[in-house]
Amino acid sequence: DIKDVGHKYYLELELEDVQDKDSTVNCTAEVLYHLGNKNIAPDVQFTLEGEFKSTEEADHMFYTRIRSLEKELVAENIPDSHGHVPPELEPIRLLAWVASGHVIWQNSTENTQLQLAQIKHVKQVKRSDEYLQFDYLVLLHDMVSQEIIPWEMTVLWHPRDGVQVTRDSRQPRH
Amino acid sequence: ANMKVVLILSALLGASLCLETFVGHQVLRVKTKNEEQVKQLQLLESLEHLQLDFWIKPSAPALPVDVRIPADNVQSVKAFLESRGIEYSILIEDLQDVLDQERQEMAKAAQRARSSGFDFGTYHTLDDIYAELDHLASEYSFVEKIQIGQSYEKRPMYVLKFSTGGSARPAIWLNAGIHSREWVTQASALWMANKIASGYGTDSFITSLLDRMDLFLLPVANPDGFVYTHTSNRMWRKTRSKIPGSVCYGVDPNRNWDAGFGGPGASKNPCSDSYHGPSANSEVEVRSVVDFIKSHGNFKAFLTLHSYSQLLMYPYGYKCTRPADYVELESLGRAAANAIKSLYGTTFQVGPICTTI
């Protein structure tokens, strides 16, 4: 408890590669939740004690595949009602998961608990530069209120630069 | 001499176990031409020592007569008919063959029903779940399907009762699907029903439990919501009742109980996914459960399944005081979590609802 500032948490985490459960890296982090002003995202500082395996090859394959699509990629309900994700859409799902992590971080307080529930809709937007762009409508689940919150986000990705969320906007429930 | 004794004993045993066989028995269809021939057949009928079994009795010349004849008497009956010029044909050459074939077919059909049966490892529609409840009840003598009420949209609420005897034995309630979008819970309830039913008699835990207690399993506590998740909105959680004065539908049935009603964790906004409803037990789905349990009077435990997360929790949710049975609940929770972990390493966090979720 930091007087007049907020609450700071010291964390020791074990990060696990979702695509390779045996690959783990330890991590230490400090998270500061600001007092009062609920519109500031918590501060996060972290240190990774190690490295994850390179995904260069898979990144390159995905990048090339999407760039060479004649028609822009469009998909919905990922996963579907039964929890299934078609294998070729798994990278799209992972991208959404990372991007929504950013959105969740920006909208978190000590009393929130948000999770990505489903990609309702995703549309690729072709760009003249080297980035891949996907416009997502995702559903976030708020554990506290139990609400399902639709959220739009524009995501850019490049193998070299990683993920960027350039635009995000909470939507009204339909 | 030994062989004879064995034979006699087995014959006696056979008789006492009603093991009749129809080896060599024939069924004849007799076509009478006139009243005289009908009278002849009626004479035959009166000869009890022949042990004739008329499937269609002799009555009028125009009508066929079907008769089963024990093996030993087949030749003499045929001779009788032939000597009087009475026409007949053989309907069944050997009755035992027919019975054997029938038994095989029935076994095969039962085998087919069991193996191409319900996939307990996948999601199903309400209709398919309800069909499987019927199947389980018909397959196991100690399993009974009971209707405890109707949903808002008039769908039946079915409970499976597991009872091996006694009269209103102490009972356990297992509740699933109160939040309709939590699909793994309805599916898990059916998995558990099958596991428990098929384990009685072989699994020592299940057997000793059901020998002493009854189990009531409600696999779909919110049928209207469940159908809605299939037809319209996969994320629907509440009931589908019309809220007076609001454009929004549905009440969170798990905020509708008469325990700390309207307290923390529930919303008074009808459009909220945790709306507690106009009053406690306002939802017919909830009231049906409450009425059943109260009138039974001997329930000892109530378990309810939810997703997602891996949490094993006990009271209270609406306040943070410890329940009277806190020590027992905590130790029971720990034991259950350890048991779950022992299978595949799945970890459940244990604690009171108030501090855990």
What's the rounded Cα separation, in Å, for the pair B136 and B142? 10
Q: Do A147 and B230 touch (CB under 8 A)?
A: no
Structure tokens at B354: 């108030």
CATH number for the domain harbouring residue A140: 3.10.450.10
pLDDT by residue (tens digit) across B265-293?
A: 899 999 999 999 999 999 999 999 999 99
Q: Do B274 and A139 touch (CB under 8 A)?
A: no
Same domain (yes/no): A156, A144? yes
Measuring CA to CA, which residue among A162, A155, A146 is closest to residue A119?
A155
Q: Do B267 and A81 touch (CB under 8 A)?
A: no
**Contact B151/B224 with Cβ under 8 angstroms?**
yes
Would you kindly state where each structural domain of chain B is located, as residue ranges?
26-97, 118-309, 314-356
Determine the longest span between alpha carbons in chain A, in angstroms.
57
Same domain (yes/no): A129, A75? yes
Same domain (yes/no): A45, A124? no
Residues 6+ apart with CB under 8 A from B290: B257, B258, B281
pLDDT by residue (tens digit) across B98-145?
A: 888 888 877 776 666 556 689 999 999 999 999 999 999 999 999 999
Q: Which of A37-51, A116-130, B189-203, B222-236 has the lowest mean pLDDT?
A: A37-51
Write out the CATH class of domain B118-309. Answer: alpha beta
Which of A121, A146, A171 is the best residue to mutate to test the B interface, defined by the most B CB atoms within 10 Å of its own CB?
Answer: A146
What's the rounded Cα separation, in Å, for the pair B318 and B330? 18
Residues 111-150 of A with CB under 8 A from B: 117-118, 139, 143, 145-148
Query: B26-97 and B118-309 share one CATH topology?
Result: no
pLDDT by residue (tens digit) across A6-24?
A: 999 999 999 999 888 888 9
Predicted TM-score (pTM) above 0.80: no
H or E element in which residue B130 lies: helix B126-139
Same domain (yes/no): A24, A68? no
Same domain (yes/no): A129, A98? yes
DSSP-derived 3-state class of residue B226: helix
Q: Which of B123, B235, B272 sits opposite A82 (nearest CB)?
A: B123
pLDDT by residue (tens digit) across A70-103?
A: 999 999 999 999 999 999 999 999 999 999 999 9
- Which pLDDT band, with edges at 50, 70 and 90, does A37 fall under? low
* Residues of chain B with C-beta less than 8 angstroms from the C-beta of A145: 267, 272-274
Same domain (yes/no): A13, A35? yes
**Contact A95/A85 with Cβ under 8 angstroms?**
no
Q: Write the DSSP symbol of residue B309.
A: S
Residue A46: domain span: 1-53
**Contact B352/B321 with Cβ under 8 angstroms?**
no
Same domain (yes/no): A59, A45? no
Q: How far is A144 from chain B (nearest CA, A)?
A: 8
What's the rounded Cα separation, in Å, for the pair B144 and B162? 7
Task: Tell me which chain B residue has its CA closest to the CA of residue A113.
Answer: B357
Given this model, what pLDDT does residue B2 score?
57
> Which whole number is the average pLDDT over B239-253?
97
Q: How far is B120 from chain A (nearest CA, A)?
A: 14
Same domain (yes/no): A42, A77? no
Number of CB atoms found within 10 A of residue B4's CB: 8
Given this model, what pLDDT does residue B116 score?
63
Q: Which of B183, B235, B274 sits opposite A139 (nearest CB)?
A: B235
DSSP-derived 3-state class of residue A50: coil
Same domain (yes/no): A114, A79? yes
Q: Do A148 and B274 touch (CB under 8 A)?
A: no
Angle formed at CA B186 by CA B348 and CA B275, multiple of 5 degrees: 85
Chain A contact for B237, CB < 8 A? Answer: yes
Chain A contact for B267, CB < 8 A? Answer: yes
Same domain (yes/no): A90, A25? no
| CATH number of the B26-97 domain | 3.30.70.340
DSSP-derived 3-state class of residue B223: helix
Task: Tell me which chain B residue has its CA closest to the CA of residue A142.
Answer: B273
Q: Which of A81, A139, A145 sits opposite B272 (nearest CB)?
A: A145
Same domain (yes/no): A58, A39? no
What's the rounded Cα separation, in Å, for the pair A141 and A138? 10
> Which whole number is the average pLDDT over A98-115?
96
> Which whole number is the average pLDDT over B244-261?
97
How many structural domains are present in chain A?
2
- Using CA atoms, how far residue B268 sits from A145, B243, B278, B285, in Å, is 12, 12, 8, 19
What's the rounded Cα separation, in Å, for the pair B150 and B138? 22
Chain B contact for A165, CB < 8 A? Answer: no
